[in-house]
Structure 1
């Protein structure tokens, strides 16, 4: 994942804006211009999450340029190369190749697991560090690529946490599972199912939908006949919201368990009052409980005019991790940046970021939420 605002851009415009912004803050006399790539969906159903992801990375780069960056004795200006992968695996590989051709030194992205995983081979072949702010499918870092990193916990942590909560707190005995057939949704559902069975929960069914579905009445009618204690949905809020809403319309009042793709502040816009039936997880600490969270919120709101949505603090720190590696390497060469990545020990908005041998966080955090009157309320935080 586990996933509100939109826009698109072209590379020429981004370069011009990047240079103009640098000039405005007095660093245009830099000896070197260095491109940082970023990829997320800023069109399509997840566009508001993608824009939030892009904003987080953009804010980090603007602040670094304002402060000034010196690497190997040279003044460096960062140029933000943001690309739209539309949440589509095929487009994600095209975007990845474009970023490689643009000669970025590292990449923040992609946002979704279904885009991150296929793009990762292109970055691996090019020897460019890729730091995803939000891809949670365990497979991303299990491919053996030395270029793949993430600053978020995985579904191998998120799915079991949901299943444990279902068994131990909700006392669920039977569950029906539905996923959207994406790498994220299916991966989360599989991890949930494994732990649910280990906890003694009977899985009555596991159905597959799509990430473009709008009508779930056939699946839900079947599940209603199964009479589960709860339903687990693996997917984003664009489909999960209507899923929960239609379930309630059919008189199904059991809890809907979901991951971070569904766990948005404004879920009620899509689910209506059925949001109060949802319990969801986020692969990270609550923003205001992050060590740099409150200050980040204020800077983000001042820059963009609205509050962060979900992924922006992770994207912000993904940039920070890359620049930290650059500073330790005292080089802007992709190979030297990559070589410095394993020793990362970065203090940022999220707190401390360190990686294990695969590129996953050494210390992941999962937050659990419910909704009361359509408003998100924290249930608790589980440290992995």
Structure 2
């Protein structure tokens, strides 16, 4: 009896092993897509909005079912916080590489995207930024850097052109927050402003953690410009506009997409109505799929879109589109398909040029009326 039991055990073990093997074979392949943005600090609301857009796309794709090369695939969002800090950005970029993500959607800020981009380039992982606008991001010679928004080389000129022709501005003071984004946008604005004949009275620098701008604004008040261009994010741009109003400056405040958010009205108070800002992408209300996406986002997260969620949403779908065309979940094969992207999504048709920029960038211009962000114009570049 003991002998028979001994003889049966190997057969039983073989059955268990075979069943386990078959279960593993049938199990979905887990494929990680990274997302990085500031989830702490002054821009955390924007980072979370971006993450939500990516998460919504991944949840939808998983619910529909995804099969690549005959294997069922489950996508997993590997979400990281770079706190909008360049050094932290490189650390989390390396973590995503170590986590074996097949692509990265991020980072939000140019000052984070640029240093992190070398990490992804060295690893051969595609990086699609939904919101980094500094031209330098895609001018480093890397084959891995892409973005789904226009650049400051388009945004700065569009804002300057509107100031000169739409607002009849003759003189301007410029302030930037010393980040790659704020400084880059301010410099592009300044070049075009001068070419249009605007008088640039001054160009001052602050930092992205500043809360008190009264010294700079008092100096600018003495210069009496028609407008002040501020290069920075809404966390500092809101107080900047509010303090300008408190000091009695008559000048319009001009700003880029970092300031041009739904939260500006809370950050600037009544002074938001003195702001004219640009967004490096199509306005949500002008996107063919904008209304439907907005409703889905509101239902899933319980609040409206803040800013760039449609761009992260499409970026995830662009990665999956490349995955399908490659018929592979291998990062190198996905990367190889990205240059041939011709994807029609919420934000419109996305196709990239040789640098990784959009072939057809769009700039939207806004002001605020009674605290409500209101579309002024859409400029196709």
Compute the TM-score of the two structures, normalised by the length of structure 2: 0.93
Could you say which residue in structure 2 is the equivalent of 1:281? Answer: 278
Could you say which residue in structure 2 is the equivalent of 1:59? Answer: 56
Matches within 5 A, 1:15-164: 30-164=27-161
Q: Once the 2 structures are TM-superposed, how far is the Cα of residue 318 of structure 1 from its aligned partner? A: 0.6
3-state SS, counterpart of residue 380 of structure 1: strand
Q: CA RMSD in A?
A: 1.0
Q: Matched residues in 2 for 1:205 and 1:85: separation? A: 32
Q: Matched residues in 2 for 1:87 and 1:159: separation? A: 22
- Given that 1:364 and 1:383 are in contact with CA atoms closer than 8 Å, whether structure 2 keeps it comes out as yes
Q: Once the 2 structures are TM-superposed, how far is the Cα of residue 31 of structure 1 from its aligned partner? A: 3.5
Matches within 5 A, 1:1-384: 30-384=27-381
Q: Once the 2 structures are TM-superposed, how far is the Cα of residue 224 of structure 1 from its aligned partner? A: 0.6
Q: Once the 2 structures are TM-superposed, how far is the Cα of residue 29 of structure 1 from its aligned partner? A: 5.3
Q: Once the 2 structures are TM-superposed, how far is the Cα of residue 266 of structure 1 from its aligned partner? A: 2.8
- Given that 2:224 and 2:251 are in contact with CA atoms closer than 8 Å, whether structure 1 keeps it comes out as no
Q: Once the 2 structures are TM-superposed, how far is the Cα of residue 156 of structure 1 from its aligned partner? A: 0.5
- 4+ residue runs over 6 A deviation: none
- Given that 1:266 and 1:375 are in contact with CA atoms closer than 8 Å, whether structure 2 keeps it comes out as no
- Given that 2:226 and 2:250 are in contact with CA atoms closer than 8 Å, whether structure 1 keeps it comes out as no
3-state SS, counterpart of residue 192 of structure 2: helix
Q: Once the 2 structures are TM-superposed, how far is the Cα of residue 254 of structure 1 from its aligned partner? A: 1.2
Q: Matched residues in 2 for 1:205 and 1:29: separation? A: 66
3-state SS, counterpart of residue 216 of structure 2: helix
Higher mean alpha-carbon deviation, 198-207 vs 284-293, is at: 284-293
C-alpha distance after superposition, 1:261-287 (max 9, x if no partner): 001123121111111110000111111
Q: Matched residues in 2 for 1:101 and 1:130: separation? A: 15
C-alpha distance after superposition, 1:97-144 (max 9, x if no partner): 000000000000000000000000000000000000000000000001
Higher mean alpha-carbon deviation, 258-267 vs 351-360, is at: 258-267
Unmatched tracts of structure 2, length 5 or more: 1-24
3-state SS, counterpart of residue 200 of structure 2: strand
3-state SS, counterpart of residue 152 of structure 1: coil
